[in-house]
C-alpha cells in the first residue's frame, strides 16, 4: 500500500484547517478546546468518556480541560438520569455564546477559503468528501452518532 499520497493530503488538510495554530479561529481556545466545546454544543448531555473516545483524547488531559472550562463558566456538569456517577456535559449561556462564535468563524473561514471555487466545484468537493466519509466509516467506527447534520443548513 502506498500511504505517501494519503499522508501528503493529511498534512495539507491539517494546515488548511489551522490544526496547529496556537489559537483556534482567533479565539482564546486551543484547537482541542474548540473541538470539545463543539462536541458538547452538538451533543448536549454527552459524557467526558464519550468525548474522549470519539476524539481519541487522553482522559487526563480532557479532565483538566473540562475542569478549567467549568471554572471559567463555559460548561456545567449534571448527573445523568441513568446514574449519579455519570456526569453529563452542557454548555452554559456563556459557553453557547462561545460555541456560536466558533461555529460562525469556522463557517466564515470555509466560505472565504472556497470563494474562488465555482458552485459546480463546491458540489463536487462536497460529494467527494461525503464519499470519503462513507468509505472510511466502513473502516473506522465512531464512539457515538455524529449529530452534526442536525445543526447544519
Alpha-carbon distance of 106 to 103, in angstroms, equals: 5
Element (H or E) spanning 68, and its range?
helix 59-72
What are the cell numbers at 10? Answer: 493529511
How confident is the model at residue 87, as a pLDDT?
Answer: 95
Domain ranges (residues) in the chain: 4-142
Question: For domain 4-142, which architecture applies?
Answer: Orthogonal Bundle (1.10)
What are the cell numbers at 111? Answer: 466560505
Q: What is the model's pTM?
A: 0.85
For residues 17-31, average pLDDT: 92
Q: Is the pLDDT of residue 152 over 70?
A: no
How do residues 26-77 score in pLDDT, each as one tens digit?
999 999 999 999 999 999 999 999 999 999 999 999 999 999 999 999 999 9
Give the whole-number percent of the chain exceeding pLDDT 90: 79
Pairing between β-strand 46-47 and β-strand 87-91 as defined by DSSP bridges: antiparallel
Q: Is the pLDDT of residue 79 over 80?
A: yes
- List the single range of 72-76, 78-82, 93-97 with lowest mean pLDDT: 78-82
Residues 6+ away with beta carbon under 8 Å from 66: 36, 48, 75, 77, 89
Amino acid at each position: 500500500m502506498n500511504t505517501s499520497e494519503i499522508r501528503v493530503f493529511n498534512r495539507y488538510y491539517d494546515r488548511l484547517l489551522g490544526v496547529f495554530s496556537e489559537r483556534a479561529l482567533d479565539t482564546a481556545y486551543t484547537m482541542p478546546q474548540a473541538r470539545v466545546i463543539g462536541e458538547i454544543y452538538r451533543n448536549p448531555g454527552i459524557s467526558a468518556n464519550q468525548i474522549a473516545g470519539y476524539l481519541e483524547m487522553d482522559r487526563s488531559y480532557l479532565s483538566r480541560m473540562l475542569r478549567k472550562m467549568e471554572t471559567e463558566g463555559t460548561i456545567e456538569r449534571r448527573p445523568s438520569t441513568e446514574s449519579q456517577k455519570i456526569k453529563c456535559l452542557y454548555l452554559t449561556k456563556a459557553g453557547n455564546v462561545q460555541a456560536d462564535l466558533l461555529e460562525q468563524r469556522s463557517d466564515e473561514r470555509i466560505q472565504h477559503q472556497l470563494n474562488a471555487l465555482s458552485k459546480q466545484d463546491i458540489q463536487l468537493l462536497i460529494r467527494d468528501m461525503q464519499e470519503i466519509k462513507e468509505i472510511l466509516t466502513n473502516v473506522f467506527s465512531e464512539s457515538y452518532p455524529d449529530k452534526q447534520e442536525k445543526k447544519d443548513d
